[in-house]
Each structure stands twice: as C-alpha cells, then as structure tokens.
C-alpha cells in the first residue's frame, strides 16, 4: 500500500466521498495547466499568450457581445487587488496566492493567547471569517497528501520547495460566493468579473483572518490556489460534495463559489464531512458534460486519470484540462458554462429552490432533474449591461 494512502484518522476519505487508489501520487504544481501554459510547448501557443495578455488589456479581442473593451475592462478591474498581491513577490519567483503562499505581512505575536476550548475557538474563527466577508467557513485537519509535491518558481517555471512553518495542524477553508447575474452570462469576458471579484475578495479576507490568528500568537498562512489543492480540504471540512463538473456543490450556493484556505497552528475543532446525495444526482445528470463546447467533461462514472494535469490515484470525475484550457485561450477569458448550467446553481435563500434541493438530494432526484430542464440559459452580456443603466 502506498505510504500516502491514508490521511489523518478523525474522518475517513470515504466519509468525504474521496476514493484513493494504490497509485496515488502527490501533484506537482508545475503540471497544472496554467503553469504548463508557460513551459510546455504542447500547451503554449500564441493563443495562450494572448489569453494572459488580455488580463493586462494588451490583447483584448473585440469579438462582439460580452467581449468588448468594457467587458474586458470590468473583468480586469475585478482582478486588480488579487493581481497586486500576486505581483509583489514576482522578483523572487513567488506569485503569491497562485504559485506561492501569501507571505506574512505581520509577525506571529510573541505572546500566545491560551485556547481553552478548541470547539469554541472554531466558532469564533467562523464568526471572524464572516465579519471579514467570507460566505462559508469550516475547519479540517492538515493532510499533506493534498499539498503540492513542489510549487513553481515563476522566474523560470522550475520546481521549488513547498514548505509550511512547523506546527501547523489545521486548515480553515473559506467559501466566497460568485455573483449570480454575472455567472449567468458565461461564456463571456464580462462573466470573468465574477471570478476576478472573488479572487480580490478572498485575497483580502484570508490575509486579514490570518493576521488575526498571528496576532493571537499562532502560525497562520493565507492561501488561495497555491500550496495545496483546496477541493479535498473543502470536502473533508464538510462544505459540500464533489460533482461531475469538478466543483464542490454546497447546500448554500450550489457550485457558484470559490474557495480559499488558511494553514494554522491555532488549536481548532474539525468539522465533519457530509454526504448530501450530490453524487447520486450527478449519476443521472450530464447537463454540464452536454453543455461543454469542447466536450472536456466525462459522461461516465468516476475514474482514475492518467492525464498530466490531474492528480494520480484518485477515482473521481476529471475534466480534460487541455481541451478546457484550449477553449479558455480561444475566448481569451475563463469559462464556467459547466457551472452556469448546473441544476444546483440556484438561489437557495428562496423557498422554491430550497424545496427543489430537498427533492434533488432525495430518491425524487429524477423528478428534480425534470423540473430543471428549462433552466440554465445564458443571459446576454448586453442585457446585463442594460440592467445597470
């Protein structure tokens, strides 16, 4: 049995719907599709270079509704705070929040506040996370299987050590809701503003929450896409369940959110993974796979993947990242059609959607799927702009 096969003991992988095989290998970040777009000639092209340039308004193609200058202008402005953060360590090859953890802006206080009851501390952290603007917050234990074997030095895209300070025991996972009206306009550069805004939000939120914990005298490393895969941590922390579109479906926002995390030595109480019934629903639904313009999502049951850009030895639904990113590059913007069309992409604060959720997560799931058949249509970006007038 592979030495990496077993994680921390409090909750099993299967409690979180995670299926590890004997071939498990930790993932090297150099192999993610965004890193490969810089060093792998099979991925890099004028189109992928244009994709990144479009985020600097250097190559914003004007290709009709949703891809005009103002669509790119709003998307790129939404990313601004995140961009400022990720650029500040560029000279050292550390693109913070993406290819390196966010560096400490404040030290760990010399005096350590005593934590009597970790359960109470977890509740307090959730309250502070909400105060700073997080929409979801849960806690789980550190599990280095999900940490990148190596990170990427962005000066030459080489593999670099991926270490955390010693004493880290827990991970705080935060969820950030994406704007529903903008998500409805995918695919478009305008819709990318929903993604960029949450990266900018989450950058501020994780930095502030981590600073609070350091002020209490404990290690706290703020993290976005860097350092470790967040999806297994979100599943272990009980925030939702994994779906065919490779996203975590939550009972609060469906798949319409982004996740960030904080690695900490603060004594905390872990949340419990939850089995909701999403996998059973995905087994009878292929709306995301049907809607994908490049057929990058699987139609069959979960399986292990041998693709360069996916983790080895985890049986799950896995997209073809090369096809998917190829489409992003062609559009010069991110795509989330598979999020937009998902039946769980609803406003669960409304009673009718709450009722639908109950049906979808019950043996009535087929009926729930039938009820969804006319939903998920794209809103024209020009309609979104007209609403703002």
Among 228, 243, 311, 331, the residue binding ligand SF4 under the rule CB under 6 A is 243
Residue in 177, 181, 178 with CA at minimum distance from that of residue 380: 181
Rule CB under 6 A: is residue 209 a binding residue for ligand SF4? no
At 228, phi and psi to the nearest 5? -155, 160
Q: Rule CB under 6 A: is residue 379 a binding residue for ligand SF4?
A: no
Site for ligand SF4 in 342-361 (CB under 6 A): 342-344
- Which token pair is 329? 């590059």
Minimum distance, C-beta of residue 245 to ligand SF4, in the bound complex (Å): 4
C-alpha–C-alpha distance, residues 32 and 22, integer Å: 22
Nearer to ligand SF4, 266 or 288 (CB): 288
Any contact of residue 287 with ligand SF4 (CB under 6 A)? yes
Contacts with ligand SF4 in 33-52 (CB under 6 A)? Answer: none
Integer-rounded Cα Rg, in Å, for the chain is: 20
Check: CB of residue 210 under 8 Å from CB of residue 262. yes
Residue 368 binds ligand SF4, judged by CB under 6 A: no
What do you get for the CA distance between the two ends of the chain, in Å? 61
Question: Which residue stretch of 62-70, 194-202, 264-272, 287-295 sits at the interface with ligand SF4 (rule: CB under 6 A)?
Answer: 287-295
By CB under 6 A, is residue 152 in contact with ligand SF4? no
| 297 binding ligand SF4? (CB under 6 A) | yes
292 near ligand SF4 (CB under 6 A): yes
Residue 368 Cβ vs ligand SF4, minimum distance, rounded to whole Å: 10
Q: Which of 215, 286, 308, 382 binds ligand SF4 (CB under 6 A)?
A: 286
Q: Give the residue, chosen from 285, 311, 332, 379, that forms a contact with ligand SF4 under the rule CB under 6 A.
A: 285
Q: Are 318 and 310 in contact (CB under 8 A)?
A: yes
C-alpha to C-alpha distances, 118 to 175, 206, 269, nearest whole angstrom: 21, 20, 5
Nearer CB in complex with ligand SF4: 31/162: 31
Q: Does the footprint of ligand SF4 cover residue 338 (CB under 6 A)? A: yes
Shortest CB 107 distance to ligand SF4, Å: 40
For 218, other C-beta atoms within 10 Å of its C-beta total: 24
Cβ atoms 196, 75 nearer than 8 A: yes
Question: In the complex with ligand SF4, which residue's Cβ is closer, 60 or 335?
Answer: 335
319 touching ligand SF4, by CB under 6 A: yes
- Residue 180 has φ and ψ, to the nearest 5°, of -65, -40
Listed ranges 207-215, 227-235, 279-287, 299-307: which one lies at the site for ligand SF4 (CB under 6 A): 279-287
- Beta-carbon contacts of 198 under 8 Å, excluding residues fewer than 6 positions away, are 176, 177, 178, 257, 258
Q: How many residues bind ligand SF4 (CB under 6 A)?
A: 24
Alpha-carbon separation of residue 124 from 68, 117, 131, 221, 310 (angstroms): 45, 11, 10, 18, 36
Local structure of residue 11 (DSSP, 8 states): S
From 43-51, 90-98, 102-110, 284-292, give the range in contact with ligand SF4 by CB under 6 A: 284-292
**Closest approach of ligand SF4 to the CB of residue 6, in Å:** 28
Q: Which stretch binds ligand SF4 (CB under 6 A): 29-37, 82-90, 165-173, 319-327?
A: 319-327
193 near ligand SF4, judged by CB under 6 A:
no
Which single residue is written with the structure tokens 């990148």?
148
- The answer to whether 182 touches 193, Cβ cutoff 8 Å, is yes
Residue 238: CB minimum distance to ligand SF4, A? 19
313 binds ligand SF4 (CB under 6 A): no
Q: Interface with ligand SF4 includes 253 (CB under 6 A)?
A: no
What CA–CA distance (Å, rounded) separates 227 from 220? 13
Binder of ligand SF4 out of 327, 348, 364, 385 (CB under 6 A): 327
Is the CB of residue 60 less than 8 Å from the CB of residue 72? yes
Q: Taking Cα atoms as reference points, which of 231, 305, 237 lies closest to residue 11? A: 237
Residue reference for tokens 């057929």? 295
Calculate the CA 254 to chain-centre distance: 13
- Residues at the interface with ligand SF4 (CB under 6 A): 243-245, 281-282, 285-288, 292, 294, 296-297, 319, 324, 327, 335-338, 341-344
């Amino acid at each position: 049995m592979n030495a990496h096969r077993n994680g921390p003991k409090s909750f099993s992988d299967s409690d979180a719907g995670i299926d590890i095989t004997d071939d498990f290998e930790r993932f090297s970040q150099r192999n993610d599709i965004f890193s490969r777009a810089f060093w792998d000639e099979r991925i890099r092209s004028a189109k992928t270079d244009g994709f990144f340039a479009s985020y600097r308004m250097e190559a914003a193609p004007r290709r009709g509704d949703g891809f005009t200058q103002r669509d790119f202008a709003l998307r790129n402005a939404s990313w601004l705070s995140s961009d400022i953060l990720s650029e500040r360590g560029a000279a050292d090859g550390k693109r913070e929040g993406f290819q390196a953890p966010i560096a400490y802006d404040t030290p760990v206080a010399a005096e350590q506040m005593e934590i009597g009851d970790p359960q109470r501390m977890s509740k307090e952290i959730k309250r502070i996370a909400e105060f700073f603007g997080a929409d979801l917050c849960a806690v789980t234990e550190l599990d280095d299987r999900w940490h990148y074997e190596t990170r990427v030095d962005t000066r030459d895209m080489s593999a670099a050590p991926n270490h955390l300070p010693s004493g880290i025991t827990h991970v705080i996972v935060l969820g950030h809701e994406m704007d529903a009206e903008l998500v409805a306009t995918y695919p478009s550069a305008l819709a990318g503003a929903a993604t960029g805004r949450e990266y900018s939000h989450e950058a501020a939120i994780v930095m502030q929450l981590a600073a609070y914990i350091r002020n209490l005298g404990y290690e706290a490393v703020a993290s976005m896409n860097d350092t470790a895969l967040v999806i297994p941590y979100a599943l272990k922390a009980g925030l939702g369940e994994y779906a065919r579109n490779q996203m975590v479906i939550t009972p609060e926002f469906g798949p319409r959110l982004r996740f960030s995390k904080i690695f900490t030595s603060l004594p905390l109480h872990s949340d419990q993974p939850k089995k909701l019934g999403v996998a059973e629903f995905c087994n009878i639904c292929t709306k995301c796979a049907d809607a994908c313009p490049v057929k990058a999502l699987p139609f069959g049951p979960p399986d292990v993947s041998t693709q360069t850009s996916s983790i080895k030895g985890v049986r799950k639904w896995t997209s073809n990242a090369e096809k998917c990113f190829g489409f992003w590059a062609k559009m010069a913007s991110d795509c989330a059609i598979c999020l937009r069309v998902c039946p769980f992409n609803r406003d669960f604060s409304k009673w009718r959607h709450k009722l639908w959720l109950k049906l979808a997560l019950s043996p009535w799931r087929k009926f729930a799927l039938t009820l969804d058949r006319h939903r998920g249509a794209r809103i024209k970006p020009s309609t979104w702009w007209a609403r703002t007038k």
